[in-house]
Each structure stands twice: as structure tokens, then as C-alpha cells.
Amino acid sequence: MAKLTISDLKQIKEKHKSTFTLREGGYRAKVTVHMGTCGIAAGARNIVNALMDEIGKSGADDIIVTTSGCAGLCSKEPMVTVEILNNPPVKYKELTEDGIREIFREHVLGGKIVDKFALVIGSETTY
């Protein structure tokens, strides 16, 4: 039997925690903006502002935006993770304001992954 490391356990717990929160709060989609120092310096706040604007325009009330710390890929910031209920999370990298707007419309509202910004789907697959 393969040995489970603490970090595996932590990842599993985190994953369950986030899906649970999503369901509990009645949210259909969650966008996590990476807000470590590197993310902020690369423009993460503008990414949030663009999301605010798009959510406002769409009138959707089942989408939440939150933040996380540095994901260790500082050169690929700004990054976000999109989680649609019952689907694996998708990480997007090197975003621009137009990029996040496109991801919002195509993926968050439309359910279609935007390949050109995608980095990872789920926790293992490199996209």
C-alpha cells in the first residue's frame, strides 16, 4: 500500500472543504483569485475588479469570488482557480483583464473551459 503523506491528506481535506462550502452556501461557481504578494504585484486586484464588473452586469447571484495565497508559480501570476459545482477545478494563468472577462463569460457562465489560459484541470492533470 502506498504511503499517504500529510500533504496528500491536506489536499484531500481542502478539496472536500471547498466543495462542501460551495454546496452549503448554495453557490454554483467559485472563482479564487491568487492574492499572495506576487499575485497582487502582477495585477490580481484588477482581476477582482473585472470579475466584480462582470458579475454585476450578468446579474448572477450564485457566483462567489474569494482569494488564496501564493501558489508557488509567481511568474505565471495573475492566476485564478475556477470551480463549477460538480466539476474539477481549473487553474488559469497569466491573466489579463480581457482574459478574465472571457473566462467569466465562457467558463463561469457558459461552462466551457478557455484553453488558451488554462494551466491545470483537477490537481494532477497538466493541461
Partner 1 sequence: MIDLSLHILDIAENSITAGADEISIKIREDISENILEITVSDNGRGMDKETLLNVSDPFFSTKKVRSNIGLGIPLLKQMAEECGGKIEIETAEGRGTSVTASFQHDHIDRKPIGDIASTVSTLIFCHPGIRFIFEYRRNSGIFTLDTLELREELDGVPINSADVIKFIKDGISSWLKRP
CB 120 within 8 A of CB 127: yes
Of 68 and 96, which CB lies nearer to ligand ATP in the complex structure? 68
Count the residues of the shown chain that bind ligand ATP, applying the rule CB under 6 A: 4
CB 70 within 8 A of CB 34: yes
CB of 73 to partner 1, least distance (A): 8
Of 13 and 112, which CB lies nearer to partner 1 in the complex structure? 13
Summarize the chain as % helix, strand, coil (round to 5): 45, 20, 35
CB 63 within 8 A of CB 28: yes
C-alpha cell at 74: 509567481
Residues 6+ apart with CB under 8 A from 42: 74, 77, 78
CB of 120 to ligand ATP, least distance (A): 20
Q: Which of residues 26-85 bind ligand ATP (CB under 6 A)?
A: 36-37, 69-70
Residue 70 lies near partner 1 (rule: CB under 8 A): yes
Instruction: State the residues that interact with ligand ATP by CB under 6 A.
Output: 36-37, 69-70
Please report, as ranges, the residues that interact with partner 1 according to CB under 8 A. 7, 10, 33, 35-38, 40-41, 45, 48-49, 52, 55-56, 61, 64-67, 69-72
